[in-house]
Structure 1
Amino acid sequence: MPRNRIALVGTGSMGSAITEALVKRTSHDVFVRGSKFGYASATALSQRLGVRQAAEADIAQSDFAFVAIPALAIEQVAALLKDFTCVVISVTVDENVGFDGNKSSAQQLGDVLSGVRVLGAFSSLYDVVVRDPEPSERQGFSYFRTAMMPKRLSSRLLRKWDSSSLMAVPCG
Protein backbone atom coordinates (compact mmCIF):
# COMPACT_ATOMS: atom_id res chain seq x y z
CA MET A 1 0.00 0.00 0.00
CA PRO A 2 1.40 3.45 -0.90
CA ARG A 3 2.51 5.74 1.88
CA ASN A 4 0.47 8.89 2.31
CA ARG A 5 1.70 12.20 3.65
CA ILE A 6 -0.55 13.17 6.57
CA ALA A 7 -0.32 16.56 8.28
CA LEU A 8 -1.85 17.05 11.69
CA VAL A 9 -2.53 20.65 12.68
CA GLY A 10 -3.20 20.92 16.39
CA THR A 11 -1.24 19.04 19.03
CA GLY A 12 -3.52 19.19 22.05
CA SER A 13 -5.31 16.14 23.47
CA MET A 14 -7.22 15.24 20.30
CA GLY A 15 -4.41 16.00 17.86
CA SER A 16 -1.88 14.08 19.95
CA ALA A 17 -4.15 11.03 20.19
CA ILE A 18 -4.75 10.98 16.42
CA THR A 19 -1.05 11.44 15.71
CA GLU A 20 -0.08 8.63 18.07
CA ALA A 21 -2.66 6.28 16.52
CA LEU A 22 -1.45 7.06 12.99
CA VAL A 23 2.21 6.59 13.91
CA LYS A 24 1.64 3.32 15.80
CA ARG A 25 -0.90 1.76 13.42
CA THR A 26 0.20 2.85 9.96
CA SER A 27 3.36 3.32 7.96
CA HIS A 28 2.34 6.71 6.56
CA ASP A 29 4.51 9.82 6.79
CA VAL A 30 3.00 11.92 9.59
CA PHE A 31 3.86 15.57 10.26
CA VAL A 32 2.63 17.65 13.20
CA ARG A 33 2.07 21.36 13.59
CA GLY A 34 0.86 23.46 16.47
CA SER A 35 -0.93 26.70 15.79
CA LYS A 36 2.54 28.09 15.04
CA PHE A 37 5.72 26.39 13.86
CA GLY A 38 7.83 25.38 16.86
CA TYR A 39 4.88 25.40 19.26
CA ALA A 40 5.91 23.65 22.50
CA SER A 41 3.31 20.84 22.33
CA ALA A 42 4.25 20.09 18.70
CA THR A 43 7.93 19.98 19.62
CA ALA A 44 7.27 17.60 22.52
CA LEU A 45 5.00 15.37 20.40
CA SER A 46 7.45 15.22 17.50
CA GLN A 47 10.28 14.23 19.85
CA ARG A 48 8.18 11.62 21.67
CA LEU A 49 6.87 9.94 18.50
CA GLY A 50 9.81 10.58 16.20
CA VAL A 51 7.82 12.59 13.66
CA ARG A 52 8.80 15.84 12.01
CA GLN A 53 7.17 19.20 12.66
CA ALA A 54 5.28 20.37 9.59
CA ALA A 55 6.48 23.44 7.76
CA GLU A 56 3.93 25.15 5.50
CA ALA A 57 5.37 23.28 2.48
CA ASP A 58 4.82 19.92 4.24
CA ILE A 59 1.19 20.79 4.81
CA ALA A 60 0.64 22.00 1.23
CA GLN A 61 2.14 18.77 -0.15
CA SER A 62 0.24 16.39 2.15
CA ASP A 63 -2.44 14.00 0.93
CA PHE A 64 -4.58 14.56 4.03
CA ALA A 65 -4.62 17.15 6.79
CA PHE A 66 -6.30 16.65 10.15
CA VAL A 67 -7.36 19.87 11.88
CA ALA A 68 -7.68 19.50 15.65
CA ILE A 69 -7.55 23.04 16.96
CA PRO A 70 -9.80 25.27 19.08
CA ALA A 71 -12.78 26.48 17.05
CA LEU A 72 -11.74 30.08 17.60
CA ALA A 73 -8.50 29.43 15.67
CA ILE A 74 -10.26 28.33 12.44
CA GLU A 75 -9.34 31.50 10.55
CA GLN A 76 -5.69 31.19 11.56
CA VAL A 77 -5.58 27.56 10.39
CA ALA A 78 -7.40 28.41 7.17
CA ALA A 79 -4.55 30.78 6.33
CA LEU A 80 -2.06 27.97 7.01
CA LEU A 81 -4.01 25.62 4.69
CA LYS A 82 -4.43 28.15 1.87
CA ASP A 83 -2.23 26.17 -0.57
CA PHE A 84 -3.58 22.75 0.41
CA THR A 85 -5.63 20.99 -2.29
CA CYS A 86 -6.56 17.56 -0.95
CA VAL A 87 -8.75 16.34 1.93
CA VAL A 88 -9.07 18.15 5.26
CA ILE A 89 -10.53 16.16 8.15
CA SER A 90 -11.82 18.52 10.80
CA VAL A 91 -12.06 17.14 14.34
CA THR A 92 -12.56 20.59 15.79
CA VAL A 93 -15.65 20.83 17.95
CA ASP A 94 -17.43 24.13 18.42
CA GLU A 95 -19.80 24.05 21.38
CA ASN A 96 -22.25 26.32 19.53
CA VAL A 97 -22.60 24.15 16.40
CA GLY A 98 -26.19 23.71 15.35
CA PHE A 99 -27.55 26.37 17.66
CA ASP A 100 -29.30 29.23 15.88
CA GLY A 101 -27.87 28.21 12.51
CA ASN A 102 -24.20 28.42 13.53
CA LYS A 103 -21.92 26.64 11.08
CA SER A 104 -19.70 23.77 12.11
CA SER A 105 -15.94 24.19 12.04
CA ALA A 106 -15.83 21.98 8.93
CA GLN A 107 -18.33 24.27 7.21
CA GLN A 108 -16.30 27.32 8.20
CA LEU A 109 -13.14 25.74 6.77
CA GLY A 110 -15.00 24.74 3.61
CA ASP A 111 -16.22 28.30 3.15
CA VAL A 112 -12.71 29.76 3.15
CA LEU A 113 -10.71 26.98 1.45
CA SER A 114 -11.42 26.73 -2.25
CA GLY A 115 -10.62 23.46 -4.00
CA VAL A 116 -10.44 21.48 -0.76
CA ARG A 117 -12.70 18.64 0.36
CA VAL A 118 -13.56 19.02 4.04
CA LEU A 119 -14.79 16.09 6.11
CA GLY A 120 -16.19 17.09 9.50
CA ALA A 121 -15.60 14.20 11.89
CA PHE A 122 -17.44 15.38 15.01
CA SER A 123 -18.61 18.89 14.46
CA SER A 124 -22.29 18.38 13.68
CA LEU A 125 -23.25 15.89 16.38
CA TYR A 126 -25.79 18.27 17.91
CA ASP A 127 -27.32 18.98 14.53
CA VAL A 128 -27.73 15.28 13.68
CA VAL A 129 -28.78 13.89 17.05
CA VAL A 130 -30.57 16.67 18.90
CA ARG A 131 -32.14 18.90 16.29
CA ASP A 132 -33.06 16.13 13.81
CA PRO A 133 -32.96 12.76 15.60
CA GLU A 134 -34.99 10.93 12.93
CA PRO A 135 -32.94 9.08 10.30
CA SER A 136 -32.85 10.91 7.00
CA GLU A 137 -31.03 10.95 3.71
CA ARG A 138 -29.11 14.03 4.87
CA GLN A 139 -25.43 13.57 5.65
CA GLY A 140 -25.24 15.83 8.67
CA PHE A 141 -21.65 15.03 9.57
CA SER A 142 -19.97 16.16 6.38
CA TYR A 143 -19.57 19.34 4.37
CA PHE A 144 -18.14 19.21 0.87
CA ARG A 145 -17.01 22.02 -1.42
CA THR A 146 -17.26 19.58 -4.35
CA ALA A 147 -20.08 17.36 -5.55
CA MET A 148 -18.28 14.22 -4.31
CA MET A 149 -20.62 12.16 -2.14
CA PRO A 150 -19.63 11.45 1.49
CA LYS A 151 -19.82 7.67 0.99
CA ARG A 152 -17.43 7.82 -1.96
CA LEU A 153 -14.95 9.93 0.00
CA SER A 154 -15.15 7.68 3.06
CA SER A 155 -14.62 4.63 0.88
CA ARG A 156 -11.65 6.28 -0.78
CA LEU A 157 -10.13 7.20 2.57
CA LEU A 158 -10.46 3.61 3.77
CA ARG A 159 -8.80 2.31 0.61
CA LYS A 160 -5.98 4.86 0.83
CA TRP A 161 -5.36 4.07 4.48
CA ASP A 162 -5.00 0.48 5.51
CA SER A 163 -8.51 -0.09 6.87
CA SER A 164 -7.16 -2.70 9.28
CA SER A 165 -5.39 0.14 11.07
CA LEU A 166 -8.69 1.83 11.86
CA MET A 167 -10.38 0.36 14.88
CA ALA A 168 -13.27 1.20 17.16
CA VAL A 169 -12.65 1.39 20.87
CA PRO A 170 -15.23 1.57 23.67
CA CYS A 171 -15.80 5.01 25.15
CA GLY A 172 -15.92 5.86 28.82
Structure 2
Amino acid sequence: MNPLIIAILRGFQFIFSIIVLGISVSLAKGQRIGSAPAATGYAAFTGGLGTLASLIGAAGIFIESLQALITWAVDGLAGLAFVAGGITYAILLRGTSCSNYASTWDNAIISGGCTKIDKEKVCGYTPGKSKSRCTSAQADTAFMFLGFVVCVGVCGMIFLRKRKGTSGYIGFGW
Protein backbone atom coordinates (compact mmCIF):
# COMPACT_ATOMS: atom_id res chain seq x y z
CA MET A 1 0.00 0.00 0.00
CA ASN A 2 1.46 3.29 -1.02
CA PRO A 3 1.32 5.80 1.86
CA LEU A 4 1.18 8.60 -0.69
CA ILE A 5 -2.42 7.57 -1.45
CA ILE A 6 -3.39 8.23 2.17
CA ALA A 7 -1.73 11.65 2.06
CA ILE A 8 -3.61 12.51 -1.15
CA LEU A 9 -6.90 11.34 0.38
CA ARG A 10 -6.18 13.53 3.43
CA GLY A 11 -5.71 16.51 1.12
CA PHE A 12 -9.07 15.87 -0.55
CA GLN A 13 -10.67 15.35 2.85
CA PHE A 14 -9.38 18.74 3.99
CA ILE A 15 -10.52 20.51 0.80
CA PHE A 16 -14.01 18.98 0.82
CA SER A 17 -14.43 19.73 4.54
CA ILE A 18 -13.41 23.36 4.14
CA ILE A 19 -15.83 23.74 1.22
CA VAL A 20 -18.72 22.25 3.26
CA LEU A 21 -17.85 24.51 6.20
CA GLY A 22 -17.64 27.62 4.02
CA ILE A 23 -20.86 27.03 2.09
CA SER A 24 -22.78 26.12 5.24
CA VAL A 25 -21.61 29.22 7.11
CA SER A 26 -22.47 31.35 4.09
CA LEU A 27 -25.99 29.88 3.96
CA ALA A 28 -26.43 30.41 7.71
CA LYS A 29 -25.22 34.01 7.55
CA GLY A 30 -27.63 34.65 4.68
CA GLN A 31 -30.65 33.82 6.82
CA ARG A 32 -32.88 36.91 6.79
CA ILE A 33 -35.93 35.88 8.80
CA GLY A 34 -35.55 33.89 12.00
CA SER A 35 -32.61 31.68 12.77
CA ALA A 36 -30.84 29.38 10.35
CA PRO A 37 -32.32 25.88 9.99
CA ALA A 38 -30.81 23.17 12.18
CA ALA A 39 -29.67 21.33 9.04
CA THR A 40 -27.52 24.30 8.03
CA GLY A 41 -25.91 24.45 11.47
CA TYR A 42 -25.32 20.70 11.36
CA ALA A 43 -23.71 20.99 7.93
CA ALA A 44 -21.32 23.63 9.32
CA PHE A 45 -20.52 21.31 12.24
CA THR A 46 -19.89 18.49 9.76
CA GLY A 47 -17.45 20.64 7.79
CA GLY A 48 -15.63 21.57 10.99
CA LEU A 49 -15.46 17.94 12.14
CA GLY A 50 -14.17 16.84 8.73
CA THR A 51 -11.50 19.54 8.86
CA LEU A 52 -10.44 18.41 12.33
CA ALA A 53 -10.34 14.78 11.17
CA SER A 54 -8.16 15.68 8.19
CA LEU A 55 -5.74 17.64 10.40
CA ILE A 56 -5.51 14.82 12.96
CA GLY A 57 -4.96 12.38 10.09
CA ALA A 58 -2.26 14.61 8.62
CA ALA A 59 -0.57 14.76 12.03
CA GLY A 60 -0.83 10.97 12.16
CA ILE A 61 1.39 10.81 9.10
CA PHE A 62 4.25 12.02 11.28
CA ILE A 63 3.17 10.91 14.79
CA GLU A 64 2.93 7.14 14.97
CA SER A 65 0.79 7.10 18.14
CA LEU A 66 -2.04 8.86 16.25
CA GLN A 67 -2.11 6.25 13.53
CA ALA A 68 -4.71 3.53 13.25
CA LEU A 69 -7.25 3.52 16.10
CA ILE A 70 -7.42 7.26 16.81
CA THR A 71 -7.50 8.36 13.18
CA TRP A 72 -9.82 5.50 12.29
CA ALA A 73 -12.31 6.53 15.00
CA VAL A 74 -12.21 10.23 14.08
CA ASP A 75 -12.51 9.46 10.37
CA GLY A 76 -15.38 7.06 11.03
CA LEU A 77 -17.21 9.71 13.06
CA ALA A 78 -16.57 12.35 10.40
CA GLY A 79 -17.77 9.93 7.71
CA LEU A 80 -21.01 9.30 9.60
CA ALA A 81 -21.51 13.04 10.06
CA PHE A 82 -20.91 13.66 6.35
CA VAL A 83 -23.37 11.01 5.20
CA ALA A 84 -26.02 12.11 7.71
CA GLY A 85 -25.65 15.74 6.59
CA GLY A 86 -25.72 14.79 2.93
CA ILE A 87 -28.87 12.69 3.36
CA THR A 88 -30.55 15.46 5.38
CA TYR A 89 -29.82 18.06 2.72
CA ALA A 90 -30.89 15.69 -0.07
CA ILE A 91 -34.22 15.12 1.69
CA LEU A 92 -34.75 18.84 2.36
CA LEU A 93 -33.87 19.75 -1.24
CA ARG A 94 -35.87 17.00 -2.95
CA GLY A 95 -38.34 18.35 -5.48
CA THR A 96 -36.53 21.65 -5.86
CA SER A 97 -35.19 22.96 -9.11
CA CYS A 98 -32.86 25.94 -8.90
CA SER A 99 -34.27 27.33 -12.13
CA ASN A 100 -37.86 27.14 -10.82
CA TYR A 101 -38.48 29.79 -8.15
CA ALA A 102 -41.83 28.25 -7.21
CA SER A 103 -40.06 25.09 -6.02
CA THR A 104 -37.49 26.98 -3.92
CA TRP A 105 -39.19 30.07 -2.51
CA ASP A 106 -40.27 28.51 0.81
CA ASN A 107 -37.59 25.83 1.16
CA ALA A 108 -36.10 26.05 4.68
CA ILE A 109 -32.47 26.01 3.52
CA ILE A 110 -32.87 28.23 0.46
CA SER A 111 -35.53 30.81 1.30
CA GLY A 112 -33.67 32.78 3.97
CA GLY A 113 -36.64 32.29 6.28
CA CYS A 114 -40.35 32.94 5.86
CA THR A 115 -43.00 34.75 7.89
CA LYS A 116 -46.66 35.69 7.57
CA ILE A 117 -47.58 39.30 6.94
CA ASP A 118 -51.32 40.03 6.75
CA LYS A 119 -52.07 36.28 6.42
CA GLU A 120 -49.71 36.02 3.43
CA LYS A 121 -46.48 34.02 3.51
CA VAL A 122 -43.41 36.15 2.71
CA CYS A 123 -39.93 34.71 2.32
CA GLY A 124 -36.51 36.35 2.44
CA TYR A 125 -35.16 36.19 -1.11
CA THR A 126 -35.99 37.18 -4.68
CA PRO A 127 -35.71 34.62 -7.51
CA GLY A 128 -32.13 35.60 -8.44
CA LYS A 129 -30.71 35.28 -4.94
CA SER A 130 -32.83 32.20 -4.29
CA LYS A 131 -31.26 30.49 -7.32
CA SER A 132 -27.78 31.28 -6.02
CA ARG A 133 -28.61 29.88 -2.57
CA CYS A 134 -30.14 26.81 -4.21
CA THR A 135 -26.99 26.01 -6.18
CA SER A 136 -24.93 26.58 -3.03
CA ALA A 137 -27.13 24.15 -1.08
CA GLN A 138 -26.86 21.55 -3.86
CA ALA A 139 -23.08 21.96 -3.92
CA ASP A 140 -23.00 21.58 -0.13
CA THR A 141 -24.92 18.31 -0.47
CA ALA A 142 -22.53 16.99 -3.11
CA PHE A 143 -19.43 17.89 -1.10
CA MET A 144 -20.86 16.22 2.02
CA PHE A 145 -21.26 13.00 0.04
CA LEU A 146 -17.75 13.40 -1.41
CA GLY A 147 -16.42 13.95 2.12
CA PHE A 148 -18.10 10.71 3.16
CA VAL A 149 -16.52 8.80 0.27
CA VAL A 150 -13.07 10.14 1.16
CA CYS A 151 -13.51 9.26 4.85
CA VAL A 152 -14.47 5.71 3.86
CA GLY A 153 -11.43 5.58 1.57
CA VAL A 154 -9.08 6.77 4.31
CA CYS A 155 -10.52 4.26 6.81
CA GLY A 156 -10.16 1.49 4.25
CA MET A 157 -6.57 2.41 3.47
CA ILE A 158 -5.66 2.55 7.18
CA PHE A 159 -7.33 -0.83 7.73
CA LEU A 160 -5.46 -2.40 4.81
CA ARG A 161 -2.12 -0.97 5.98
CA LYS A 162 -2.61 -2.27 9.51
CA ARG A 163 -3.83 -5.65 8.28
CA LYS A 164 -0.69 -6.06 6.19
CA GLY A 165 1.36 -5.16 9.26
CA THR A 166 2.85 -1.98 7.82
CA SER A 167 3.36 0.56 10.57
CA GLY A 168 3.48 4.18 9.74
CA TYR A 169 2.64 6.24 6.76
CA ILE A 170 5.10 8.60 5.15
CA GLY A 171 8.64 8.20 6.33
CA PHE A 172 7.99 4.96 8.21
CA GLY A 173 6.86 2.44 5.59
CA TRP A 174 8.41 3.49 2.29
After TM superposition, is the score higher than 0.5?
A: no
TM bucket (normalised to shorter chain) is under 0.3
Q: Which has the higher contact order (CA 8 A, sep 6+)?
A: 2
Judging by fraction of residues, say which structure has more helix: 2
Scaled by the length of structure 1, the TM-score of the pair is 0.26
